[in-house]
């Protein structure tokens, strides 16, 4: 009897939207649902006022994304409708904020490490708040802290990987134009001026920053004597005058007036006589010997009489 194999499917289903895909590394917090809308499991969420969470929609941005509404068994009465679970306003919501979770991708083909988009404006049959795998202009926003973790199954459910707890920091803008700078300079007179680094910068007024002169300091020690400089050029010889004619010697002129050398005083130079000789002493001089010496000096005019 021949075998009749049956093909049930080519790949396994990821499960229901909002169910956890991998549990070892995940963060799930609880917050009340704000607003007036009922949201299904697997809805992308943003932070509202006073700690509530709201579904992403018109006016929200990708960096506001904080997590996904997780699937929870809420009560036995709703056991048979868990595949279409939902949260109503003011109900506690399991906010899945980090890790891997299954969500419905309503447009595009998710690929591992692919960019995740959320629709914020309706277009064609695509509803606001749905996850997508391709951009649609301003109708979608990209999530900066989430990526797809592989392709979707036959039901359009794919694994979403949230890298870190949102909201994501706002992306900084591009660098602005160089504003330029001013370079200062000070003259010897103390005038401070500013030079702009680029054209079009406003001028800055100059100012004198030199203060009053201080008291004169003490004179420092004299420095060492410098080396002698080179000798200057020799001066030119003067021209020799003409030699006079040789003439005959004239007669001797008359004698001039006589001159008498005055005696020397204590204030006028004059002539003195040679003092008479005094023999050497052979014994210690006495007062008489000293007085004789003084008398000889006076006699010769070398010593005043009084």
Q: What is the pLDDT of residues 120-173, one digit of tens each?
A: 999 888 999 999 999 999 999 999 999 999 999 999 999 999 998 877 666 666
Residue range of the domain that includes 132: 20-162
- Residue 196 covered by a domain: no
Quote the pLDDT of residue 20: 75
Cβ contact 185:191 at 8 Å: no
Domain CATH for 121: 2.40.300
The C-alpha atoms of residue 69 and residue 293 are separated, in whole angstroms, by 143
- Residue 205 covered by a domain: no
What backbone torsions phi and psi does residue 295 show, to the nearest 5 degrees?
-65, -40
- Residue 236 covered by a domain: no
- Least confident range from 84-93, 101-110, 154-163, 222-231: namely 222-231
Quote the pLDDT of residue 191: 92
Taking residues 32-54, what's their average pLDDT?
A: 95
Quote the pLDDT of residue 47: 95
Quote the pLDDT of residue 168: 67
Taking residues 243-254, what's their average pLDDT?
A: 68
* Beta pairing, strands 92-107 & 20-32: antiparallel
Average of per-residue pLDDT values in the chain: 84
- Residue 197 covered by a domain: no
Residue written as token pair 């299904």: 40
203 vs 237 pLDDT, higher one:
203
pLDDT bin (cut points 50, 70, 90) of residue 234 is low
| Number of domains composing the chain | 1
Single out the residue of 22, 26, 70, 21 nearest to residue 44, CA to CA: 70
pLDDT bin (cut points 50, 70, 90) of residue 97 is very high
pLDDT bin (cut points 50, 70, 90) of residue 205 is very high
The C-alpha atoms of residue 137 and residue 141 are separated, in whole angstroms, by 8
The C-alpha atoms of residue 78 and residue 86 are separated, in whole angstroms, by 11
Using alpha carbons only, what angle is made at residue 84 by residues 83 and 88, rounded to the nearest 5 degrees?
A: 135
- Residue 55 covered by a domain: yes
* pTM tops 0.75, yes or no: no
- Residue 127 covered by a domain: yes
The answer, yes or no, to whether residue 255 has pLDDT greater than 80, is no
Quote the pLDDT of residue 149: 94
- Residue 206 covered by a domain: no
* Local structure of residue 36 (DSSP, 8 states): S
- Least confident range from 40-49, 93-102, 111-120, 248-257: namely 248-257
Taking residues 276-300, what's their average pLDDT?
A: 85
Cβ contact 302:293 at 8 Å: no
Give exposure, 159-187, as e/b (b: 16+ Cβ within 10 Å): bbbbeeebbbeeeeeeeeeeeeeeeeeee
Residue written as token pair 């795998």: 133
Taking residues 93-118, what's their average pLDDT?
A: 95
Cβ contact 117:133 at 8 Å: yes
Quote the pLDDT of residue 210: 87
* Local structure of residue 64 (DSSP, 8 states): G
- Residue 271 covered by a domain: no
Structure tokens at 139: 């109708």
């Amino acid at each position: 009897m021949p075998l009749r194999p049956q093909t049930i499917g080519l790949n396994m289903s990821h499960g229901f939207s909002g169910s956890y895909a991998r549990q070892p590394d995940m963060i799930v917090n609880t917050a009340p649902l704000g607003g007036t809308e009922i949201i299904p499991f697997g809805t992308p969420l943003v932070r509202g006022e006073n700690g509530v969470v709201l579904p992403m929609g018109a006016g929200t941005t990708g960096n506001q994304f904080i997590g996904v509404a997780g699937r929870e068994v809420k009560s036995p009465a709703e056991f048979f409708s868990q595949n279409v679970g939902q949260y109503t306003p003011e109900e506690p919501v399991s906010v899945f904020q980090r890790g891997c979770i299954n969500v419905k991708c309503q447009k595009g083909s998710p690929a591992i490490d692919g960019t995740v988009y959320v629709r914020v404006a309706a277009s064609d049959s695509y509803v606001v708040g749905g996850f997508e795998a391709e951009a649609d202009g301003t109708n979608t926003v990209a999530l900066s802290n989430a990526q797809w973790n592989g392709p979707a199954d036959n039901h359009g459910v794919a694994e979403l990987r949230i890298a870190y707890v949102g909201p994501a920091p706002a992306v900084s803008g591009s660098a602005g134009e160089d504003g330029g700078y001013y370079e200062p300079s000070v003259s010897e007179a103390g005038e401070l001026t500013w030079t702009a680094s680029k054209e079009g910068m406003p001028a800055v007024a100059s100012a004198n920053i030199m203060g009053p002169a201080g008291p004169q300091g003490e004179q420092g020690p004299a420095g060492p004597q410098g080396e002698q400089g080179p000798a200057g050029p020799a001066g030119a010889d003067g021209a020799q005058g003409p030699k006079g004619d040789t003439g005959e010697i004239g007669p001797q002129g008359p004698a001039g007036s006589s001159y008498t050398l005055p005696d020397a005083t204590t204030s006028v130079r004059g002539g003195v006589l040679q003092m008479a000789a005094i023999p050497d002493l052979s014994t210690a001089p006495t007062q008489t010997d000293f007085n004789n010496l003084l008398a000889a000096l006076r006699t010769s005019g070398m010593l005043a009489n009084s």
